[in-house]
């Protein structure tokens, strides 16, 4: 198991401050544009990236609070301490599994630290059921909260939960 990542930077309050968002999985990087779902690949839900998992765990990519935890265990929302709203969706159309092969480890309202396990899932069973597992992580408020979002890793790169995936230049917070 990889050592825990360094602590996240303090809450940002100035425009232009950059934060890094960690990997939400162990696996290979897939560019968001290459995800086989137009809602994600078009960027309609926000800027981000994806990982094809090689380990059946979803990790917290930053310190924050769980804002969404689908009862089916396939998707989670996280508001980072920097005010970014992240959506992590394990695979495509996996809501149709109705929770089968997913084991949530958090609930809405829980506070998590970068590297905490959010959910576990059975990769072979989900693939055998015919579902792709490339897992997007998008910043749903990226237009409002981020001046820019850059991929830190290249397509195909191997990553762990200790690696960073995105570098985000923050816009000034309201009432800052």
Residue 9 has pLDDT above 90, yes or no: no
Residue 67 has pLDDT above 50, yes or no: yes
pLDDT at position 14, please? 54
pTM of the model as a whole:
0.88
Q: Which of 24, 74, 89, 101 is catalytic?
A: 89
Residue 176 has pLDDT above 80, yes or no: no
Is position 9 within any domain?
no
pLDDT at position 16, please? 65
Is position 34 within any domain?
yes
Instruction: Provide the CATH number for the domain around residue 72.
Output: 2.70.70.10
Residue 148 has pLDDT above 90, yes or no: yes
Yes or no: say if 50 and 29 are a contact pair by the CB < 8 Å rule. yes
Sheet of 146-151: strand order equals: 18-22, 164-170, 146-151
Q: Tell me the DSSP string of 9-65.
A: PPPP-STT-EEEEE-SSSEEEE-GGGSS-HHHHTTTT-EEEEEEESSSEEE-SSSEE
Is position 116 within any domain?
yes
Q: How many domains does the chain have?
A: 1
Q: What percent of the chain has pLDDT over 90?
A: 86
Digit-coded pLDDT (tens) for 107-135: 999 999 999 999 999 999 999 999 999 99
Q: Is 24 a catalytic residue?
A: no
Is position 4 within any domain?
no
Dihedral over alpha carbons 70, 74, 77, 78 (to 10 degrees): 120
Is position 11 within any domain?
no
Q: What percent of the chain has pLDDT over 70?
A: 89
DSSP state of 95: G
pLDDT at position 172, please? 72
């Amino acid at each position: 198991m990889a050592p825990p990542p360094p602590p996240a930077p303090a809450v940002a309050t100035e425009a232009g401050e950059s934060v890094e968002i960690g990997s939400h999985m162990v696996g290979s990087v897939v560019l968001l544009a290459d995800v086989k779902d137009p809602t994600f690949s078009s960027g309609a839900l926000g800027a981000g990236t994806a990982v094809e998992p090689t380990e059946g765990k979803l990790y917290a990519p930053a310190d924050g609070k769980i804002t969404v935890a689908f009862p089916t265990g396939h998707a989670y929302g996280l508001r980072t301490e920097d005010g970014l709203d992240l959506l992590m969706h394990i695979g495509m159309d996996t809501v149709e599994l109705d929770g089968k092969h997913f084991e949530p480890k958090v609930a809405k309202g829980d506070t998590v630290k970068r590297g905490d396990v959010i959910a576990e899932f059975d990769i072979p069973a989900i693939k055998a059921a015919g579902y792709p597992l490339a897992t997007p992580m998008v910043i749903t408020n990226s237009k409002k909260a981020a001046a820019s979002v850059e991929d830190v890793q290249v397509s195909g790169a191997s990553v762990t939960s200790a690696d960073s995936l995105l570098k985000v230049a923050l816009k000034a917070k309201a009432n800052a």
